[in-house]
């Protein structure tokens, strides 16, 4: 099982590396969208520090959705998805492999870029650290939930827009706990409760989302 998971993940990462520009688009979106806020809101350090966690999280959400819509699109187009559905390997394993590859190629760059955005917003070192931890826990949730949306809207003409509408409301809990953790650290409290809830959310999504994605793929391909 792990063998199939790793080979699917390795193949998708290889594909991302061959299409580097496409793979880096969400990161570019993340940087530019977050960079617009200081210009729009004004360069007041106090204001920026307050809105920073929310801005980083919302931009990360949108950037993740931007790339997740393509998770199954090309495999659907060239027939690879049919073969994945027919494979003796369980479809859940294949889905997990694709989610892992998506997180590594688009989630991790967001996590790595977050401290830079934090500095741009004049965040304190402690807050930046917490922000990175919340994104580390939160971006896999986005990839997992996005995979469900991508599978459900497979082959639809306005599928990408539908993924945004379907999945973004579901990510609200992650957004609340993610920004809440940074807010708690800012006001001198412990972020542990928020981080625990975020971790619990990740575990629940990890258990449920691949099943839902596999079922949605079977329905979409019928």
Number of residues that bind another protein (CB under 8 A): 25
Can residue 86 be called a binding residue for another protein (CB under 8 A)?
yes
Least distance from another protein to the Cβ atom of residue 222, Å: 5
Can residue 44 be called a binding residue for another protein (CB under 8 A)?
no
Structure tokens belonging to residue 114: 């977050």
Least distance from another protein to the Cβ atom of residue 22, Å: 10
Rounded distance between C-alpha atoms, residue 36 and residue 28, angstroms = 12
Structure tokens belonging to residue 46: 């106090």
x-or-dash pattern for another protein, window 56-75, by CB under 8 A? ------------------x-
Q: Which stretch binds another protein (CB under 8 A): 78-86, 128-136, 171-179, 195-203?
A: 78-86
Can residue 85 be called a binding residue for another protein (CB under 8 A)?
yes
Among 88, 157, 169, 188, binds another protein (CB under 8 A): 88
Element at 65 (helix H, strand E): helix 45-68
Question: In the Cβ-directed half-sphere of 161, how many Cα atoms lie within 13 Å?
Answer: 3
Backbone angles phi, psi at 121, to 5 degrees: -95, 10
Rounded distance between C-alpha atoms, residue 135 and residue 27, angstroms = 14
The nearer residue to another protein, 84 or 142, going by C-beta atoms, is 84
Rounded distance between C-alpha atoms, residue 58 and residue 43, angstroms = 20
Among 45, 78, 155, 200, binds another protein (CB under 8 A): 78
Among 82, 116, 207, 211, binds another protein (CB under 8 A): 82
Rounded distance between C-alpha atoms, residue 97 and residue 114, angstroms = 25
Residues numbered 138-197 forming contacts with another protein, rule: CB under 8 A = none
Rounded distance between C-alpha atoms, residue 174 and residue 168, angstroms = 10
Which positions touch another protein (CB under 8 A)?
3-4, 7, 11, 14-15, 18-19, 74, 77-80, 82-90, 94, 221-222
């Amino acid at each position: 099982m792990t063998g199939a998971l790793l080979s699917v993940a390795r193949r998708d990462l290889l594909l991302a590396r061959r299409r580097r520009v496409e793979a880096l688009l969400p990161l570019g979106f993340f940087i530019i969208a977050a960079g617009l806020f200081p210009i729009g809101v004004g360069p007041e350090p106090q204001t920026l520090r307050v809105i920073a966690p929310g801005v980083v999280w919302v931009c990360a959400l949108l950037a993740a959705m931007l790339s997740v819509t393509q998770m199954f699109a090309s495999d659907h187009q060239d027939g690879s998805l049919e073969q994945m559905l027919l494979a003796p390997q369980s479809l859940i394993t294949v889905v997990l492999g694709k989610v892992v590859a998506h997180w590594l190629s688009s989630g991790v760059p967001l996590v790595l870029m977050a401290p830079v955005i934090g500095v741009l917003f004049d965040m304190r070192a402690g807050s930046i650290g917490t922000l990175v931890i919340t994104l580390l826990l939160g971006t896999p949730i986005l990839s997992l939930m996005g995979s469900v949306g991508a599978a459900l809207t497979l082959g639809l003409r306005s599928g990408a827009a539908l993924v945004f509408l379907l999945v973004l409301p579901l990510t609200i809990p992650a957004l609340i706990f993610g920004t809440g953790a940074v807010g708690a650290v800012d006001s001198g409290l412990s972020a542990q409760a928020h981080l625990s809830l975020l971790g619990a959310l990740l575990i629940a999504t990890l258990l449920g989302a691949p099943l839902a994605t596999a079922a949605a793929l079977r329905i979409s391909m019928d």
